[in-house]
Amino acid sequence: MTLGGQPSESEPVALLLFSKTTDYRHASIPAGVAALSSWAQRKGLQLEATEDAGWFEPERLARFAAVVWLSTSGSVLDAKQRRAFESFLRAGGAYVGIHSASASEPDWPWYAELVGARFTEHPVPQPARLVVEDREHPATRHLGSEWRRSDEWYEFDRNPRASVRVLLSVDDASYQRGKSGDHPLAWCRELAGARSFYTALGHSPTDFSDAAFLQHVGGGIEWALGAGS
């Protein structure tokens, strides 16, 4: 695999699944690693799961087409590792962020731009109604016009709508303490030559045994790898 995700003729596409935490640690991480490893195997992809930030150096990142940040939290990379990751993305690599990936690298503005918004708070987990805003994207085309499920319903430091393609939003009137009004929860964008997909869903371990949720995340990964427009 060459930098930026161009596989050689003899190698399958490879993903790095990164789940290091230095702040809150979600109980869903082991289930997520297991489910995404199985998903990758079914898709004929290589997947390397790690919590070692030492993978964020140019030669090692060059093996991968995309890096998936699975419920990472807090400061997880040092300055050298940040530079390597930014270079990987600028060379055409891809980023996927799941759930508290938006609560990672709090003092790195470039990462916040990559994700699209930074997590600030959430109410207790509870059911709500999701509005499916984009029925064409690989992450949402399997859904109807709405999707009812439970999660933490993240609030963010900004509304990313002006700079991203919104895929899902949550109806704030459908749960307690909803306050954003216009409240995107899953989106994608291109930044500095890289495809970036983020979903705020994925708090519970049971999410990763839910076929619709796995198709949502899997579709986001496939889009980040170049599937769909």
Q: CA 216 to CA 186: how far, in whole Å?
A: 10
Predicted confidence band of residue 180 (pLDDT cuts 50, 70, 90): low
Backbone angles phi, psi at 167, to 5 degrees: -105, -45
3-state secondary structure string across 103-145? HECCCCHHHHHHHCCCEEECCCCEEEEEEECCCCCCCCCCCCC
Report in angstroms the alpha-carbon separations of 114 from 146, 186, 193.
27, 13, 11
Is 144 part of any domain?
Answer: no
Q: Which residue's structure tokens are 């690693």?
A: 33
Looking at the chain, the whole-number percentage of residues with pLDDT higher than 70 is 94
State residue 6's pLDDT score.
47
Extract the tokens encoding 171: 């109806």
State residue 177's pLDDT score.
79
Is 66 part of any domain?
Answer: yes
Is 138 part of any domain?
Answer: no
State residue 120's pLDDT score.
96
Domain, as residue range, for 49:
14-116+184-224
Q: Which residue has the higher pLDDT, 90 or 8?
A: 90
**How many domains are contained in the chain?**
1
**pLDDT tens, position by position, 38-69:** 999 999 999 999 999 999 999 999 999 999 99
Residue 119 has pLDDT above 80, yes or no: yes
- How far from the centroid of its chain's Cα atoms is residue 157's Cα? 17
Q: Which amino acid is at 68?
A: V
Q: Which residue's structure tokens are 């495809």?
A: 195
Looking at the chain, the whole-number percentage of residues with pLDDT higher than 90 is 90
Extract the tokens encoding 217: 């995340």
Is 211 part of any domain?
Answer: yes
Residue 99 has pLDDT above 60, yes or no: yes
Is 140 part of any domain?
Answer: no
Q: CA 204 to CA 226: how far, in whole Å?
A: 28
Residue 118 has pLDDT above 60, yes or no: yes
Predicted confidence band of residue 4 (pLDDT cuts 50, 70, 90): very low
**CA quadruple 135, 18, 41, 195: dihedral positive or negative?**
positive
Is 32 part of any domain?
Answer: yes
State residue 223's pLDDT score.
97
Backbone angles phi, psi at 174, to 5 degrees: -95, 0
Least confident window among 38-47, 102-111, 146-155, 220-229: 220-229
Q: Tell me the CA end-to-end span of the chain in Å, nearest whole number.
A: 23
State residue 1's pLDDT score.
37
Is 89 part of any domain?
Answer: yes
14-18: strand order across its sheet: 46-50, 14-18, 66-70, 94-98, 194-199, 184-191, 165-170, 126-132, 146-151
Closest residue by Cα to residue 148 from 167, 171, 165: 171
* Residue 220's CATH number: 3.40.50.880
State residue 3's pLDDT score.
36
Predicted confidence band of residue 228 (pLDDT cuts 50, 70, 90): confident
Is 75 part of any domain?
Answer: yes
Report in angstroms the alpha-carbon separations of 108 from 33, 103, 112, 186.
25, 11, 7, 21
State residue 170's pLDDT score.
96
Closest residue by Cα to residue 49 from 83, 141, 40: 40
State residue 54's pLDDT score.
97
- Other Cβ atoms closer than 10 A to 126: 14
State residue 187's pLDDT score.
98
State residue 192's pLDDT score.
83
Predicted confidence band of residue 10 (pLDDT cuts 50, 70, 90): low
